[in-house]
Amino acid sequence: MIIIKDINNIEKTTSNNCISIGNFDGMHMGHIELVKETVRIAKENNLVPTVLTFDQMPEEYFKANDFFRLMEMSDKYKVFEKLGVEQVLVIPFDKSFSEINENIFIKEILIEKLSLKYLIVGKDFKFGYKRMGNIELLQKYSELGDYNLLSLDLVKISSDKISSRDIRILIKNGKIKEANQLLAVPFSLSGKVIHGEKRGRRLGYPTANIEIYKSYPINGIFLVNILFEDKKLFGLASWGNKPTFSGIDHVLEVNILDFESDIYGKQLKVIFIDKIRDQIKFDNGDELIEQMNKDKKTVEILLKDLQ
């Protein structure tokens, strides 16, 4: 699969393309069916099955309230390839692109630059400056013979009638298991291990502090998988503002079970399996240790159920 991480780096694609467009964040069933349809139509018409997506996403550029990614780009690429996509084109959503005229997007980018012959999008797809472009405008260009158009209702395609926004609400409310059942891959977060206050080590539960670059509307204690190099480990993750201590910084700390190696500076991927409880403010360290012991027992029970 060809991945072009910035379409500004190409003047014109060399192939005629069948393209679907979207964030594809989380790759729920509606997204999957959209991509499958793109691959099917491409093969029927001797076109290249292509996905046009965004990094950063529009919601990130506009700093939408409580928005966070459901899927890392690397995982998204793997799902695209598995579904038969042969080409992924990435638009960096920045100030310039946010102000693009909807007609210019169709004529200069889709038709001229990307050699569009067949377009498949969701019925609610909007584009261009102030989201002035819509399915009706795309249909007008299609009727001129520039390309064929198919629009799908992504929410109705899914038997659960779910959207990426709904999945974020599930995660925000701690319903990790329910959210993961609707995602192509479980919700995860990657980051580098940095030095922390080493308070967990003094409490008997050493933690890896994961560097994250934004605050998430999520808090609690979670059962997680940790991917580190060629290892897949289990652990307990604390995500939030450490209410017993500072109560200010939003941090992700992971206690990796049965693991003691030095991993400072290493990249970890934390995969969220289930929420154990909310974060709690304790009066002292002894109360916190007692609760952490209970959390570990809870994890041991959950792990037996997973085996």
Question: What's the 3-state SS for the chain?
Answer: CEEECCHHHCCCCCCCEEEEECCCCCCCHHHHHHHHHHHHHHHHCCCEEEEEEECCCHHHHCCCCCCCCCCCHHHHHHHHHHHCCCEEEEECCCHHHHCCCHHHHHHHHHHHHCCEEEEEEECCCCECHHHCECHHHHHHHHHCCCCEEEEECHHHHCCCCCCHHHHHHHHHCCCHHHHHCCCCCCCEEEEEEECCCCHHHHCCCCCEEECCCCCCCCCEEEEEEEEECCEEEEEEEEEECCCCCCCCCCEEEEEECCCCCCCCCCEEEEEEEEEEECCCCCCCHHHHHHHHHHHHHHHHHHHHHHC
- If asked whether residues 220 and 297 sit together in one domain, one would say yes
- pTM equals 0.86
Q: Residue 283 — pLDDT band, cuts 50, 70, 90? A: low
Q: Tell me whether residue 294 is in a domain.
A: yes
Three state DSSP letters for 54-76: ECCCHHHHCCCCCCCCCCCHHHH
Domain containing 82 equals: 2-157
Among 70-79, 120-129, 259-268, 281-290, the range scoring the smallest mean pLDDT is: 281-290
Q: Tell me whether residue 122 is in a domain.
A: yes
Q: Tell me whether residue 170 is in a domain.
A: no
- If asked whether residues 78 and 218 sit together in one domain, one would say no
**Closest of 50, 30, 43 to residue 91, by C-alpha:** 50
For 158-189, write each residue's pLDDT tens digit.
Answer: 555 678 999 999 999 999 999 999 999 999 99
For 11-45, write each residue's pLDDT tens digit.
Answer: 999 899 999 999 999 998 889 999 999 999 999 99
CA angle 233, 168, 188 (to 5 degrees): 20
Say how many CA atoms lie within 13 Å of 79 toward its Cβ: 23
Number of domains observed in the structure of the chain: 2
- If asked whether residues 152 and 234 sit together in one domain, one would say no
pLDDT for res 197: 58
Q: Tell me whether residue 180 is in a domain.
A: no
Among 54-68, 109-123, 234-248, 250-264, the range scoring the smallest mean pLDDT is: 234-248
- If asked whether residues 108 and 210 sit together in one domain, one would say no
- If asked whether residues 129 and 226 sit together in one domain, one would say no
Q: Tell me whether residue 168 is in a domain.
A: no
Q: Tell me whether residue 39 is in a domain.
A: yes
**Closest of 147, 148, 110 to residue 128, by C-alpha:** 110
